[in-house]
């Protein structure tokens, strides 16, 4: 950043450009558009099912038929990408997470349905085992409850391949196993899925902000108070995040992600400055829940606060944001466009 001194007060009044709306718009450094939004959704088995996520007001788990209706609305709003998170029945959870790569699994069926109905909508799938394990961890455990890296990676490769075969545009490994990006990329290339993108959860922290998400997918009860600190990153570290990102890029990731979002915007900025690759961030369930709690209590304005929060991601260098506010924000942005168009016609 330049250290040049521009001048003193009066010769350089910074408030001049803030005085009127036209000027503020002209010098605005970042903008938020619908193209920046990725909408995470929770998918249920069955038909005609809708379940509210109590810890995430306004967010529902949806069966595939209702998901298709939701997807149609997203297409109309111009949201480019949807991220799928399956909520599988407890009877399908095992120690080896076999359901994760079932060709007729819930995520795979949802992908096929979405791509058949709305081929223009991007579909991203979660590559991780926690929805499919009886213990709620993201991998295969040894006798000491330690997540085994290489065996887990073998299962993740099977899962990613099954999702690509179903038609996923992007597979997103969120497990944080070492070397899994290279193994998945190699398998995709060998199977002919050369255009299937990998969005790597490269800097995923062992955060306390994931609680509502674990409620939503049904893994919280399986964890039984355990944590994921042996494979997710220590919140105290940011240099390590750059190492993780560097490995994932070298191994074949098309884009990288920082998770959680707002508490880790410094990491987003460092990643973008260091590597200049497509960089995404996840405004996670806990962030959503905190915003909604304050909004519902009348402590914060909804529209203004949510839009500000997402602009912070853009300012930090994020190319896009996974956010549970995506549909709402896309609606607001469309309303703003229509209002401007209407004003021009008057």
Q: What integer pLDDT is reported at residue 340 of this predicted model?
A: 75
| pLDDT tens-digit series, residues 264-299 | 999 999 999 999 999 999 999 999 999 999 999 999
Q: What integer pLDDT is reported at residue 34 of this predicted model?
A: 98
Residue 1 has pLDDT above 60, yes or no: no
Structure tokens at 272: 């973008």
Structure tokens at 127: 């590559």
Residue 331 has pLDDT above 90, yes or no: yes
161 and 134 in contact (C-beta within 8 Å)?
Answer: no
Q: What integer pLDDT is reported at residue 343 of this predicted model?
A: 66
| pLDDT tens-digit series, residues 97-127 | 999 999 999 999 999 999 999 999 999 999 9
In angstroms, the first-to-last Cα distance of the chain is 44
Q: Which residues are catalytic?
A: 204, 259
Confidence of residue 344 (pLDDT cuts 50, 70, 90): low
Cα(169)–Cα(105) distance, rounded to whole angstroms?
17
Q: What integer pLDDT is reported at residue 43 of this predicted model?
A: 98
What burial class does residue 162 get, using C-beta atoms within 10 Å of its C-beta: 0-12 exposed, 13-18 middle, 19+ buried? buried
> Which distant-in-sequence residues (6+ apart) come within 8 Å of 69 by Cβ?
none
Cα(258)–Cα(260) distance, rounded to whole angstroms?
6
What burial class does residue 10 get, using C-beta atoms within 10 Å of its C-beta: 0-12 exposed, 13-18 middle, 19+ buried? exposed
* CA 7, 8, 14, 19 torsion-angle sign: negative
Global pTM reads 0.94
Structure tokens at 178: 């070492």
Q: What integer pLDDT is reported at residue 56 of this predicted model?
A: 96
């Amino acid at each position: 950043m330049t250290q040049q001194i521009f001048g003193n007060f009066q010769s350089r009044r910074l408030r001049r450009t803030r005085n009127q709306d036209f000027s503020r718009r002209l010098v605005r450094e970042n903008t938020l558009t619908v193209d920046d939004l990725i909408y995470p959704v929770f998918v249920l088995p069955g038909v005609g099912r809708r379940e509210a996520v109590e810890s995430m007001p306004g967010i529902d788990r949806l069966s595939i038929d209702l998901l298709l209706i939701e997807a149609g609305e997203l297409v109309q709003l111009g949201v480019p990408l949807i991220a799928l998170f399956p909520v599988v029945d407890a009877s399908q959870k095992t120690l080896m997470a076999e359901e994760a790569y079932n060709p007729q699994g819930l995520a795979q069926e949802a992908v096929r349905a979405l791509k058949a109905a709305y081929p223009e909508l991007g579909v991203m799938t979660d590559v991780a085992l926690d929805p499919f394990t009886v213990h709620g961890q993201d991998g295969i455990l040894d006798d000491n409850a330690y997540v085994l890296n290489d065996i887990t990676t073998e299962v993740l490769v099977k899962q990613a391949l099954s999702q690509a075969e179903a038609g996923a545009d992007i597979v997103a490994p969120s497990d944080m196993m070492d070397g899994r990006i290279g193994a998945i990329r190699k398998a995709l290339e060998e199977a002919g899925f050369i255009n299937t993108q990998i969005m790597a959860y490269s800097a995923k922290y062992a955060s306390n902000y994931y609680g509502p998400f674990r409620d939503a997918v049904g893994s919280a009860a399986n964890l039984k108070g355990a944590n994921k600190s042996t494979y997710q990153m220590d919140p105290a570290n940011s240099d390590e995040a750059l190492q993780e990102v560097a490995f994932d890029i070298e191994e074949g990731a098309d884009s990288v992600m920082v998770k959680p979002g707002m508490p880790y915007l410094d990491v987003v900025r460092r990643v973008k400055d260091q590597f200049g690759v497509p960089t995404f961030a996840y405004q996670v369930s806990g962030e959503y829940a905190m915003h909604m709690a304050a909004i519902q209590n009348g402590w914060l304005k909804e529209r203004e606060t949510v839009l500000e929060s997402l602009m912070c991601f853009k300012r930090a260098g994020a190319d896009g944001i996974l956010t549970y506010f995506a549909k709402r924000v896309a609606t607001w942005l469309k309303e703003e466009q229509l209002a401007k168009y209407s004003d021009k016609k008057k």
